[in-house]
Amino acid sequence: METFIRTYKISDITLCDRLIDYHKNNNEYKKEGIIYKKDTGEVDKSIKESIDVRFFNGTNDKTINELYKEITVHVYKYVREFQLDCNLITEDPGLIQWYPKGGGFKKWHFERCNYQSRKRQIVYMLYLNDVENGGTEWYLQNVKLEAVKGTLVLWPSDFTHVHRGVVADEEKYIATGWLEHCL
């Protein structure tokens, strides 16, 4: 069965270290990853535990621009492989996420699940460090990837690709975001 999940290696592995430094040194766009408990409105760390730094297309930051160039190269490969005939843009900010030991996005979820995320078509995720037993798994595809530094993963954003992070005994960094359909 076709999974529509693809992995690519980025051309410059040092980009991962620079993105981690960007996360560590950024205070303007840094905040706790938030998923609220429905009954109390409190943060529910049993679902997601992270510190997120937003980044934006159109920035003057050289590191973020290099990340977007890498994403673009591989998205073109993905689009050609599956003969997708649509215009894709990065409208929403991306995230560099730090997960502490035992942290992560622990709940099964998908990326196009509400009004705000309705235009999302493709998810990208770049592992920024090696994490033993700490990758990502997709439920219906029965796929589990290890977090290997410099590996970029692309997949469809919809309910067909329910996934979750594998909780690890060490910290994990990823850069992630979405390509949206341009109407």
pLDDT in tens, 122-133: 999 999 999 999
Helices assigned H by DSSP within 26-154: 62-81
71, 52 contact by CB (below 8 A): no
Share of the chain above pLDDT 70, in %: 96
Beta strands in the chain (DSSP E): 6-9, 30-32, 48-49, 51-55, 88-89, 94-99, 104-105, 120-127, 131-138, 143-147, 151-156, 163-165, 172-181
Residue 123, both tokens: 């998810």
d(CA 101, CA 63): 26
Residue 95, both tokens: 């995230």
183, 139 contact by CB (below 8 A): no
pLDDT at 72: 95
174, 126 contact by CB (below 8 A): yes
Q: Per residue in 112-153, pLDDT tens? A: 988 888 899 999 999 999 999 999 999 999 999 999 999 999
33 pLDDT band (50/70/90 cuts)? confident
Q: Is the pLDDT of residue 37 over 80?
A: no
14-25 and 62-81 helices, crossing angle to 10°:
130
Average of pLDDT values for 155-178?
A: 97
